[in-house]
């Protein structure tokens, strides 16, 4: 490659900042997610940790509930019109911020009227790791097809079905927590091809550590569930490999996009509002090429959060389990790291994608792309005083790590929403 070609080439860097620790700490017995056992030991004082588990991360699995079931949720079959008072206060946050900032906010505090505010809510962004919320919805969608009458059997399959990552995991630099309950050895490391985890653990790595390898494996298993149906629980790796090698790549691409987006289409999210079009790792993309690209908007993602709280993503129990998988139990980042949220339960997904090209005087760094620099935060906040709200914040500020802006906005928005009205 000559100098001119190299200068003009665009360096694509897909980077999602690691988030460590979702799912309630006391969920080990139900899920078999081994890192949760370690967190239980930390809370019991049996082993030491680098940092204490904050109050907002100590919620029991039995105390996580959906906030919009029944008639109250039914009244939110569509996103409400902006509340004039809230909209005015939210507007005042943005005059001096980058024009790319888009946001949707919905206050669902019990006993109060719904309040909604928005800014460029239908602007489209590369969703990055936020797209993993689509994958987890598709996972529960296919599980229901296998066991339509028993959520307990779906959970048993998630807990007891162990699969190897294989070449689909290539490559992700982001680490995952790995804990051995017998030796109590704990490490954070990258996933390798011979790693074997349960479906629950793959899903947990996908959401809690935002691991791309895990996301590709879960998506792969979703496709296998769809292809083999009730025969899936006994499926062997060799049979799975034969399926992907024997099915035409064009057909696989079509199926991948159709299957993964099916559950969000069912809840009324259009492809213009949010869609997922390609796997998260190059290894997976070499087997199943992407189709149609990925995009998302605050409006589309807010529709997802509302449907989740209403129990409409697959069914009530599936929605609740997805919410548990989003519950942050360890280190919080970006929007969720705000000091104002320390005592709040937060259900969070963050995503980013940055893209660089050569430019005189510019050095490409993480989350500081000069072509694209997407950063997205999706959160449900539940304060001990009952204040409950949802926020989707998306931005594309070039050459700047927007984490601090997301963090700062979190505190300001929380202050506005917790004011007595």
Q: pLDDT by residue for the chain (421 residues), tens digit each?
A: 443 333 333 333 333 333 345 678 889 999 999 999 998 898 888 988 777 788 898 899 999 999 999 999 999 989 999 999 999 999 999 988 889 999 999 999 999 999 999 999 999 999 999 999 999 999 999 999 999 999 999 999 999 999 999 999 998 888 999 999 999 999 999 999 999 999 999 999 999 999 999 999 999 999 999 999 999 999 999 999 999 999 999 999 999 999 999 999 999 999 999 999 999 999 999 999 998 899 999 999 999 999 999 999 999 999 999 999 999 887 888 999 999 999 999 999 998 889 999 999 989 998 988 998 999 999 999 999 999 999 999 999 999 988 889 999 999 999 999 987 5
Place of tokens 């072509």: 371
**CATH code reported for the domain at 3-417:** 3.40.710.10
Q: How far is CA 56 from CA 87, 110, 164, 338, 378, in A?
A: 28, 19, 34, 12, 17
Q: How far is CA 141 from CA 8, 202, 314, 317, 369, in A?
A: 43, 16, 6, 11, 36
**Hey, which residues does 119 pair with through a beta bridge?**
103
DSSP 36-64: HHHHHHHHTTSS--SSPPPGGG---GGG-
CA neighbours closer than 13 Å in the CB half-sphere of residue 325: 29
For 173, residues 6+ apart whose C-beta sits below 8 A from its C-beta are 190
Of 402, 411, 412, nearest to 125 by C-alpha is: 402
- This prediction has a pTM of 0.92
């Amino acid at each position: 490659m000559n100098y001119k070609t190299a200068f003009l080439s665009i360096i694509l860097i897909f980077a999602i900042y690691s988030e460590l620790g979702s799912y309630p700490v006391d969920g080990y017995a139900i899920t078999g997610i081994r890192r949760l056992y370690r967190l239980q030991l930390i809370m019991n004082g049996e082993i030491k940790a680098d940092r204490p588990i904050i109050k907002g991360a100590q919620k029991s699995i039995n105390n996580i509930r959906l906030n919009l079931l029944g008639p109250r949720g039914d009244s939110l079959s569509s996103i409400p019109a902006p509340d004039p008072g809230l909209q005015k206060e939210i507007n005042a946050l943005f005059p001096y911020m980058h024009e790319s900032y888009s946001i949707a906010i919905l206050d669902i505090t019990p006993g109060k009227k719904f309040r909604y505010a928005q800014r460029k809510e239908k602007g489209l962004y590369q969703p990055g790791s936020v797209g993993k919320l689509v994958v987890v919805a598709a996972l529960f969608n296919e599980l229901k097809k296998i066991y339509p009458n028993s959520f307990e059997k779906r959970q048993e399959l998630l807990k007891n079905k162990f699969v190897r990552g294989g070449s689909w995991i290539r490559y992700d630099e982001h680490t995952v927590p790995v804990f051995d309950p017998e030796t109590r050895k704990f490490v954070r490391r990258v996933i390798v091809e011979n790693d074997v985890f349960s479906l629950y653990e793959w899903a947990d790595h996908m959401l809690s550590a935002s691991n791309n390898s895990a996301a590709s494996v879960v998506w792969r298993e979703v496709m296998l569930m769809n292809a083999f149906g009730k025969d899936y629980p006994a499926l062997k790796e060799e049979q799975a490999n034969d399926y992907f090698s024997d099915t035409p790549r064009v057909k696989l691409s079509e199926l991948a996009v159709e299957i993964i987006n099916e559950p969000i289409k069912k809840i009324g999210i259009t492809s213009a509002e949010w869609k997922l079009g390609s796997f998260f790792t190059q290894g997976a993309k070499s087997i199943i090429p992407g189709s149609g690209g990925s995009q998302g908007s605050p409006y589309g993602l807010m529709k997802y959060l509302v449907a989740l709280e209403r129990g409409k993503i697959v069914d009530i129990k599936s929605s609740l389990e997805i919410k548990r998988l989003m519950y942050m139990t360890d280190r919080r980042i970006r929007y969720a790291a705000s000091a104002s949220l320390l005592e709040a339960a937060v259900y969070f997904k963050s995503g980013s994608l940055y893209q660089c090209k050569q430019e005189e005087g510019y050095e490409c760094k993480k989350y500081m792309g000069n072509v694209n620099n997407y950063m997205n935060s999706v959160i449900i906040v539940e304060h001990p005083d009952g204040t409950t709200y949802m926020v989707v914040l998306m931005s594309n500020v070039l050459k700047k790590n927007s984490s601090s802006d997301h963090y700062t906005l979190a505190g300001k928005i929380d202050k506005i929403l917790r004011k007595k009205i």
